[in-house]
Amino acid sequence: MARVYNFSAGPAVLPEEVLREAQEDLMDYKGCGMSVMEMSHRSRMFDDIIKSAEKDFRELVGVPDNYRVLFLQGGGCMQFAQVPMNLMNKHHKADYIITGNWAKRAWNEAKIYGDAVAVASSEDKNFTYIPDCSDLPIDDDADYVYICENNTIYGTEYFQLPNTKGKLLVADVSSCFLSRPIDVTRYGMFWGGVQKNVGPAGLVIAVIRDDLITDDVYPGTPTMLKYKTQADKNSLYNTPNCWSIYICGLVFKWLKKIGGLEEMNKRNEKKAKVLYDYLDQSKMFKGTVRKQDRSLMNVPFVTGDKDLDAKFVAESAAAGFENLKGHRTVGGMRASIYNAMPYEGVAKLVDFMEDFEKKNLK
Amino acid sequence: MARVYNFSAGPAVLPEEVLREAQEDLMDYKGCGMSVMEMSHRSRMFDDIIKSAEKDFRELVGVPDNYRVLFLQGGGCMQFAQVPMNLMNKHHKADYIITGNWAKRAWNEAKIYGDAVAVASSEDKNFTYIPDCSDLPIDDDADYVYICENNTIYGTEYFQLPNTKGKLLVADVSSCFLSRPIDVTRYGMFWGGVQKNVGPAGLVIAVIRDDLITDDVYPGTPTMLKYKTQADKNSLYNTPNCWSIYICGLVFKWLKKIGGLEEMNKRNEKKAKVLYDYLDQSKMFKGTVRKQDRSLMNVPFVTGDKDLDAKFVAESAAAGFENLKGHRTVGGMRASIYNAMPYEGVAKLVDFMEDFEKKNLK
């Protein structure tokens, strides 16, 4: 087996030992004679899988008892509606900080359900920075303030949470999920699609404060989309994405084993540093993001020459570095270096870039 | 590896050769160096997986060109809302035929979005039969008539579709999905959660006539829940449940290989016959369903003695026949004998039942 270095922005690389365990147990999970894919979600075995997954997640992240952990379907785009349907319920107003495509789509969807106001944006510079969020015009009536904490496409990340002036903070953490320790109490809710940094696509993990889970939702909200429905049934209102929950559970165990989110953060900083340090001194490749806002997860870079970019993408793929093509709105390249990308993968990429630069610099 | 015979109602048994292929390719799909779980849903490789899956599904089922095939998240409970949000859009009325728990839940959810009328029900006899649907009081203004075509809990199945008097038929086919040939043109739409008869949980496949896919939806419908959103983007509006789509694709190939839905139906009839024939002559075990409505997929049976039922469930599990405990609303036992359950599994179960009967009949 020749595994490539997969720099995909999501779905993305998973830890090799997790995949190996899933492979070993695929047809006969722990001697029970069936695959996890074949198990009733009401079975004792699956009950153990989902409860262990929640327990390990809570331990890793440090989720306080007054927060619920929900396993939901529909991905981020479903949350773009589900958040306002459930939480824009007092003044029917919310403030959005627009730092990229996903924040913007969340904002546009929220307008269906109430008065969604963009209180800050970095669109003026193609989302290459995080706006100053220390003193935003937060509405007195805002039911929450919404951010996308790491912007997959543009490669920016909040290293300081916004001053919400006492309002609830709601964050989409999809592309920095479990990449570093966080203080859960700073959030009213955060949620992440698991397909970037945690597990197979088709699952969102949402962490939401108890008191925000109510029946007071937007009229016409489907029963499935009320957080209360899923909270009351411990995420088993109907059959969940069992396989994804299982794989995420294995990833949580892997994270605990390597030393938890502090150790993960150290590794992520080390990986990002070797790449950013190289970019900072390169005469060919340039990062696209303001230095203090550079994401530890998604690293876009360009040569400034489209043909050269294309050549780099082709040659890097041939050398076993996959999915380095940048998003069309940024161009160039993007290396997504999520939790499961080993340091070695980034170091080898940098070697390859140095070599490419030497050969192609005019 | 000792695989059990898994009679779970869902998630349920999958074909062994499908699981074996998935296991072999888990860490390195077709030599591409990554798992299907790690692939971008926008990659060439995944594009091939989802397109092949749709193509094979269309071939198997005989889906005409004027019907779309959609891969959706959220399971059946999401469809209970999504169907009326999208289709109860002319007169805001629909007729529901109540043949069990899932039809009833669909009906209750539809009441959020309009005037949902129960035009027939078999609740008077604990859903042990399918009502006569040849001349129902279908409303002139009904936007559609809704059925649950196979009732997993109660073990009934429609062998004749209702006379909808020209109105659209919408069917939940989750627990008889791909179990026999159907005439797609009889339906405006049908959909199935794949977790019973097709693949891993967290995916619904919906087949819907072109002209029913419109922007004319219930106000406040999330963008994700408009069928049009997913149809316009070929089910890739956001990241779908890629792994489940992949496994379903392997199951479609397996079905084609064994001879398609006609052959599958023959096998299913043969499996059901051996079990029903035994039940019909047993002095201990009795089926619970009116003969002409007995499902080929889910076979509930009872001894009439709760202690004896419990003894049977315990002893059968010890002998490698798993998940035979019946649903609490019916009691006793239930053998779900979906597509992937081999004839041998049912024949051995019948042997075991005969033996149990001999030993325990007073």
Q: How far apart are CA A212 and CA B78, in angstroms?
A: 22
Question: Residue B202: which pLDDT band, with cuts at 50, 70 and 90?
Answer: very high
| Distances in whole angstroms, Cα of residue A69 to Cα of each of A189, A242, A264 | 10, 15, 21
Q: Does B20 touch chain A (CB under 8 A)?
A: yes
Predicted confidence at residue A362, as pLDDT, reads 80
Using N-to-C axis directions, what is the helix angle for A260-281 and A44-61, rounded to 10°?
Answer: 60
* From A11, A40, A241, residue closest to B38, measured CB to CB: A11
Predicted confidence at residue B361, as pLDDT, reads 87
pLDDT reading at B1 higher than 80: no
pLDDT reading at B211 higher than 70: yes
- State how far residue B10 is from chain A, nearest Cα, in angstroms: 6
Q: Catalytic residues of A, which ones?
A: 102, 172, 196
Interface contact A39-B11, CB threshold 8 A: yes
**Chain pair A-B, CB pairs under 8 angstroms:** 226
Predicted confidence at residue A203, as pLDDT, reads 98
* From A38, A195, A320, residue closest to B11, measured CB to CB: A38
Q: Does A317 touch chain B (CB under 8 A)?
A: no
pTM to 2 decimal places: 0.98
Residue percentage of chain B with pLDDT more than 70: 100
Predicted confidence at residue A88, as pLDDT, reads 98
Interface contact B6-A43, CB threshold 8 A: no
Interface contact A222-B322, CB threshold 8 A: no
For residue A203, the chain B residues in CB contact (below 8 A) are: 202
Put simply, the chain B residues between 149 and 188 with a CB less than 8 A from any chain A CB are none
- Report pLDDT digits (tens) over B23-73: 999 999 999 999 999 999 999 999 999 999 999 999 999 999 999 999 999
* Coil, helix or strand at residue B170: strand
Nearest CA in chain B to A16: B27
Q: Does A26 touch chain B (CB under 8 A)?
A: yes
Predicted confidence at residue A211, as pLDDT, reads 98
Q: Does B45 touch chain A (CB under 8 A)?
A: no
Interface contact B195-A113, CB threshold 8 A: no
Please compute the mean of the pLDDT values over residues B265-293 and round it to a whole number: 98
Please compute the mean of the pLDDT values over residues B126-154 and round it to a whole number: 98
- Report pLDDT digits (tens) over A174-196: 999 999 999 999 999 999 999 99
E strand or H helix at A172: strand A169-172
For residue B20, the chain A residues in CB contact (below 8 A) are: 27
Listed as ranges, residues in chain A with pLDDT below 70 are 1
Neighbour order of strands in the sheet with A169-172: A67-72, A204-209, A189-193, A169-172, A145-148, A93-98, A115-121
Burial status of residue A209 (CB atoms within 10 A of its CB: 0-12, 13-18, 19 or more): middle
Ranges assigned E (strand) in B61-162 = 67-72, 93-98, 115-121, 145-148, 150-151, 156-157
Nearest CA in chain B to A41: B11
- State how far residue B134 is from chain A, nearest Cα, in angstroms: 32
Put simply, the chain A residues between 73 and 92 with a CB less than 8 A from any chain B CB are 73-78, 80-82, 85
- Structure tokens belonging to residue A16: 């090799």
